[in-house]
A = this chain, B = another copy of it.
Amino acid sequence: MSDVKKVVLAYSGGLDTSVILKWLQDQYQCEVVTFTADLGQGEELEPARQKALKFGIKPENIYIDDVREEFVRDFVFPMFRANTVYEGEYLLGTSIARPLIAKRLVEIARDTKADAISHGATGKGNDQVRFELGAYALMPEVKVIAPWREWDLLSREKLMAYAEANGIEVDMKHKNGGAPYSMDANLLHISFEGRHLEDPKAEAEESMWRWTVSPEQAPDAAEYVDLEFENGDVVAINGIRLKAHEVLAKLNELGGKHGIGRLDLVENRYVGMKSRGCYETPGGTILLKAHRGIESITLDREVAHLKDDLMPRYASLIYNGYWWSPERKALQVLIDHTQARVNGWVRVKLYKGGVSVVARDSKDTLFDQTIATFDDDGGAYNQADAGGFIKLNALRMRIAGKKGR
Determine if B353 and A326 form an interchain contact, defined as CB atoms under 8 angstroms apart.
no
Determine if B148 and A383 form an interchain contact, defined as CB atoms under 8 angstroms apart.
yes
Q: Which residue of B193, B201, B334, B389 is within 8 Å of A388 (Cβ)? A: B389
Determine if B390 and A301 form an interchain contact, defined as CB atoms under 8 angstroms apart.
no
Residues of B within 8 A of A156 (CB): 374-375
Residues of B within 8 A of A198 (CB): 369, 372-374
A399 to B361, CA, bound (A): 16
Residues of B within 8 A of A373 (CB): 194, 198
A136 to B398, CA, bound (A): 6
Residues of B within 8 A of A123 (CB): 381, 383-387
Interface mask (A178-211 → B, CB under 8 Å = 1, otherwise 0): 0100100000000001100011111110000000
Determine if B391 and A371 form an interchain contact, defined as CB atoms under 8 angstroms apart.
no
Asked whether any CB of chain B lies closer than 8 Å to the CB of A366, the reply is yes
Q: Can you tell how many copies of this chain the complex includes?
A: 4
Determine if A358 and B393 form an interchain contact, defined as CB atoms under 8 angstroms apart.
no
Determine if A334 and B330 form an interchain contact, defined as CB atoms under 8 angstroms apart.
yes
Interface mask (A232-260 → B, CB under 8 Å = 1, otherwise 0): 00000000000000000000000000000
Determine if B264 and A140 form an interchain contact, defined as CB atoms under 8 angstroms apart.
no
Interface mask (A307-349 → B, CB under 8 Å = 1, otherwise 0): 0110011001000001011110111011001100100000100
Asked whether any CB of chain B lies closer than 8 Å to the CB of A154, the reply is yes
Q: Which residue of B83, B347, B364, B388 is within 8 Å of A386 (Cβ)? A: B388
The smallest beta-carbon distance between A274 and chain B, in angstroms, is 4
Determine if B200 and A367 form an interchain contact, defined as CB atoms under 8 angstroms apart.
yes
Q: How large is the interface on A (under 10, 10 to 19, 20 to 34, 35 or more residues)?
A: 35 or more
A360 to B387, CA, bound (A): 34
Q: Which residue of B122, B272, B275, B371 is within 8 Å of A383 (Cβ)? A: B122
Determine if B383 and A124 form an interchain contact, defined as CB atoms under 8 angstroms apart.
yes
Least CB separation from A132: chain B residue: B390
Q: Quick one: given A358-B264, A394-B136, are A386 and B308 in contact (CB under 8 Å)?
A: no
The smallest beta-carbon distance between A277 and chain B, in angstroms, is 10
Determine if A388 and B384 form an interchain contact, defined as CB atoms under 8 angstroms apart.
yes
Asked whether any CB of chain B lies closer than 8 Å to the CB of A352, the reply is yes
Q: Which residue of B330, B393, B405 is within 8 Å of A389 (Cβ)? A: B393
Asked whether any CB of chain B lies closer than 8 Å to the CB of A177, the reply is no
A267 to B292, CA, bound (A): 11
Residues of B within 8 A of A139 (CB): 401
Least CB separation from A278: chain B residue: B358
Asked whether any CB of chain B lies closer than 8 Å to the CB of A170, the reply is no
Determine if A274 and B366 form an interchain contact, defined as CB atoms under 8 angstroms apart.
yes
Asked whether any CB of chain B lies closer than 8 Å to the CB of A174, the reply is no
A262 to B337, CA, bound (A): 32
Determine if A337 and B341 form an interchain contact, defined as CB atoms under 8 angstroms apart.
no
A297 to B276, CA, bound (A): 9
Q: Quick one: given A88-B292, A155-B376, are A302 and B331 in contact (CB under 8 Å)?
A: no
Q: Quick one: given A334-B331, A384-B149, are A202 and B359 in contact (CB under 8 Å)?
A: yes
Asked whether any CB of chain B lies closer than 8 Å to the CB of A133, the reply is yes
A42 to B50, CA, bound (A): 69
A137 to B403, CA, bound (A): 12
Asked whether any CB of chain B lies closer than 8 Å to the CB of A305, the reply is yes
Asked whether any CB of chain B lies closer than 8 Å to the CB of A396, the reply is yes
The smallest beta-carbon distance between A304 and chain B, in angstroms, is 7
5 residue pairs from A and B, CB less than 8 Å apart: A87-B305, A203-B359, A262-B356, A306-B313, A354-B354
A→B interface (CB under 8 Å): 83, 87-89, 122-124, 128-129, 132-133, 136-141, 144, 146, 148-149, 154-156, 179, 182, 193-194, 198-204, 215-216, 220, 222, 262-268, 271-276, 292-293, 296-297, 300-306, 308-309, 312-313, 316, 322, 324-327, 329-331, 333-334, 337-338, 341, 347, 351-354, 356-361, 364-369, 371-376, 381-403, 405
